[in-house]
Structure 1
Amino acid sequence: MDWPLLIEFVRQRAPAFLAQLEGVPDASIWALAADRGAALPASYVEFLRRMGSHCSGWAPFGATLDHHFAAIVERLDAEDEDAPPSDRFFPVAIETDESLVALYDHYLDLQRVEGDDAPLVMLEAGVPYQWQTPIETHETFNERVTFSLFHRFQLRLCAERDVVTLGGTLRAGEGRAGLQQALVLLQRAGFEPALPLLGRTACLRAGTLSVLARVNENHELLTLLLGSDNRLSLKALADQLLAGLPGARRPSGPFVG
């Protein structure tokens, strides 16, 4: 993950946000990792260094999931012999909404680290690990952070928004294939990556137009979130996608993303 690029992207849009971030000292990160025998991916370590103590209200995993270092330490300190092995599954976000029927925390799967990244899985809090099968999110840590940053600091700032979807028939690979088709169409229309392209996530811009593309491999569905301050330009983009991507459609109901 190109963290300097991500930070500069946010700086251009919300410098006050960056001024409030608080990171975790390296010594604290490495001491916890060594104590747990966990080989943490470099991107997650950098995330903790930059904003692991305070994120100024940004919640990349969801509004009720606490990703701060103190919450992670507290969870690990409270674990017993029935907990997931932290050298395999390392917690990165703790569910705090106790009104839910089941509380699912997010973990890095450290046996599937690739480069500086790792897949995210969910495990139910309070249930012995040996009784569980990790739930695949079909998303990596880098994909989650990139999606959330672009959504918070680009798409949500647009006055007008729309959505186009493609796929969803559960044919294997359909979601990623749809993303590649969409990228070809968008690049021909002058769009360029605003953040690094990842396997299931793409953030693109062209003038006042923004596109956040995401593949949900649970349903083999590609979702294209569109944003602009110009309603006519946004409509033209949506119409172009609907015409250029066979099977593309607008989902029913208003877009509130």
Structure 2
Amino acid sequence: MDWPLLIEFVRQRDPAFLVQLKGVPDAAIAALAADRGAVLPASYVEFLRRMGSHSNGWAPFGATCEHHFAAIVERLDEHDEDAPPSDRFFPVAIETDESLVALYDHYLDLQRVEGDDAPLVMLEAGVPYQVQTPVETHETFNERVTHGLFHRFQLRHCAERDVVALGGTRRAGEGRAGLQQVLVLLQRAGFEPALPPLGRVACLRAGSLSVLARVNEDYELLTLLLGGDNRLALKALADQLLAGLPGARRPAGPREG
């Protein structure tokens, strides 16, 4: 993942945000990884280096999930024999909302690292690792960070928003196929990538209009979050997507906000 590009994307939209970020020293990251026998993907290491101690309120795993380095170290220092082996599953976010029926923490699956990235899975806290099956999130660390940054620093600042969905029949590969259809349609309409596209995430812009496309492979569902400052232009974009993508629809219920 191109971290300098991501940081520049944020800088152009909210330079004050970057001032408050605080990273973790390389030596501390290397020492923890070595102590646990974990080979961490380069993108996660860079995330820790840039904002592992303080991310200025940005919570890529959700408001109740603690992702800072100190919390990760504390969890690993518990030395719980029922915890997952950290050289296979490395914790990156700890659920803190104790009102939940079950607390699921996020882990990197280090046996499936590809390049600088790794898939995210969830395991239930307090339940022996040996009797659990990791819950697939169907996203990688890079995908989570990319769509989180685009939503936080682009879509959230749009005055108008809408949602279009495609697929959801659980046919294998339907979500990614839909994403490719969307990319072709949007590129013909003048949209360009605002951030580098990933396997299940694409962030695009054309003028004041923005699109965040995400594939949920649990349901083979493609969700398009649309944003803009002009209601008529946004409606025209949504209508174009609904007309150009067979089976596309506006989901029932409240729109993304």
Give the whole-Å Cα distance in 2 for the aligned partners of 1:192 and 1:100. 40
| CA deviation after TM superposition for structure 1 residue 252, in Å | 1.4
- Shift in Å at residue 79 of structure 1? 3.1
2: CA distance, partners of 1:34 / 1:195:
32
The aligned counterpart of 1:227 is 227
Runs of at least 5 residues in structure 1 that lack an aligned partner in the other structure: none
Distance 2:101 2:216 in 1: 24
How far does residue 107 in structure 1 lie from its aligned partner after superposition?
0.1
CA distance in 2, matches of 1:85, 1:3: 29
For 1:62, the equivalent position in structure 2 comes to 62
* Matches for 1:201-220 after TM superposition, within 5 Å: 201-220=201-220
Tell me, yes or no, if structure 1 residue 107 matches structure 2 residue 129.
no
1:7 corresponds to: 7
Give the CA deviation at 1:82.
1.1
Provide the secondary structure at the position in 1 that maps to 2:149: helix
Query: SS state of the match for residue 180, structure 2?
Result: helix
Aligned partners of 2:164 and 2:5: how far apart in 1? 28
Cα shift at 1:81: 1.3
5+ residue gaps, structure 2, are none
Secondary structure of the residue aligned to 2:136 is strand
Would you say how many aligned residue pairs link Structure 1 and Structure 2? Answer: 257
Q: What letter matches 2:141 in structure 1? A: F
Runs of 4+ in structure 1 off by over 3 angstroms are: none
Secondary structure at the counterpart of residue 78 of structure 1? coil
Bigger shift: residues 247-256 or 10-19? 247-256
Pairing 1:30-109 to 2, within 5 Å after superposition: 30-109=30-109
- Asked whether the equivalents of residues 225 and 256 of structure 2 are also in contact (C-alpha less than 8 Å), the reply is no
Give a deviation string over 1:151-201, Cα, whole Å, max 9, x none: 000000000000000000010000000000000000000000000000000
User: 1 CA distance for matches of 2:256 and 2:112?
Assistant: 34
Aligned position for 1:17:
17
Question: CA offsets, 1:185-239, max 9 Å, x none?
Answer: 0000000000000000000000000000000000000000000000000000000
Rounded to whole Å, the distance in 2 between the matches of 1:166 and 1:26 is: 43
TM superposition score normalised by structure 2:
0.99
SS in 2 for 1:22: coil
Q: What is the CA-CA distance between 1:256 and the residue it aligns to? A: 3.1
Do structure 1's residue 170 and structure 2's residue 182 form an aligned pair? no
Between stretches 204-213 and 71-80, larger displacement belongs to 71-80
Q: TM-score, normalised by structure 1?
A: 0.99
Q: Alpha-carbon deviations, 1:126-157, whole Å to 9, x = none?
A: 11100100000000000000000000000000
For residue 122 of structure 1, what is the aligned residue in structure 2?
122
Q: Deviations over 1:99-131 (max 9, x none)?
A: 111000000000000000000000000111001
CA RMSD of aligned residues (A): 0.5
